[in-house]
């Protein structure tokens, strides 16, 4: 059971990448979202809440062992990437995928209000919520960019 919890909390062990584990978790999520043909928007409606619930649970447990919002916890980045591309067309050009990735990482690292404040929530809630908010922000900016450019 401990291995399962670690696998979930560390984003399929991307949290153990020695340099920028959050970026590694985000990149894995991006590749899954982009490459898995059956991963459509209807499935994301189900997967994102499941990932969020599992993330709150598992990251809360791992946080007690590894410290507050430890770098090895990357399920939050993976879920945030899901939010970034939620209800986006699958057939986007590659550069929109890159833009979404960069936007999410910028919002996740920069933690503008209310993302930064949400980290104060207890346990796994704080770990997960800032990335959900960063993903929503990235999603909205990406939509605006696509609308503005006709993409």
Q: How far apart are the first and last CA of the chain?
A: 45
Over residues 2-14, mean pLDDT: 93
According to the model, what pLDDT value does residue 68 have?
80
For 65-100, write each residue's pLDDT tens digit. 887 878 899 999 999 999 999 988 877 889 999 999
According to the model, what pLDDT value does residue 137 have?
97
Contact 125, 59 (CB under 8 A): no
pTM surpassing 0.75?
A: yes
Place 45 in a pLDDT band, splitting at 50, 70 and 90. Answer: confident
pLDDT at residue 38 greater than cutoff 70: no
For 51-65, write each residue's pLDDT tens digit. 999 999 999 999 998
Q: Name the percent of the chain lying above pLDDT 70.
A: 98
pLDDT at residue 18 greater than cutoff 90: yes
Average pLDDT, the chain: 91
Contact 16, 82 (CB under 8 A): no
pLDDT at residue 40 greater than cutoff 80: no
Nearest to 81 by CA among 48, 111, 56: 48
CA distance 4 to 12: 9
């Amino acid at each position: 059971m401990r291995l399962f919890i670690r696998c979930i909390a560390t984003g399929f062990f991307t949290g153990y990448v020695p340099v920028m584990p959050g970026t590694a978790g985000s990149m894995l999520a991006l590749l899954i979202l982009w490459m898995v043909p059956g991963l459509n928007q209807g499935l994301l409606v189900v997967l994102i809440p499941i990932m969020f619930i599992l993330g709150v649970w598992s990251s809360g447990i791992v946080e007690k062992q590894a410290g507050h919002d430890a770098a090895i916890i990357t399920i939050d980045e993976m879920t945030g990437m899901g939010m970034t591309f939620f209800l986006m067309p699958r057939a986007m050009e590659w550069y929109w995928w890159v833009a979404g990735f960069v936007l999410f990482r910028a919002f996740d690292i920069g933690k503008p209000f209310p993302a930064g404040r949400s980290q104060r929530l207890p346990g796994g809630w704080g770990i997960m919520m800032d990335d959900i908010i960063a993903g929503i922000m990235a999603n909205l900016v990406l939509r605006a960019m696509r609308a503005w450019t006709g993409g």
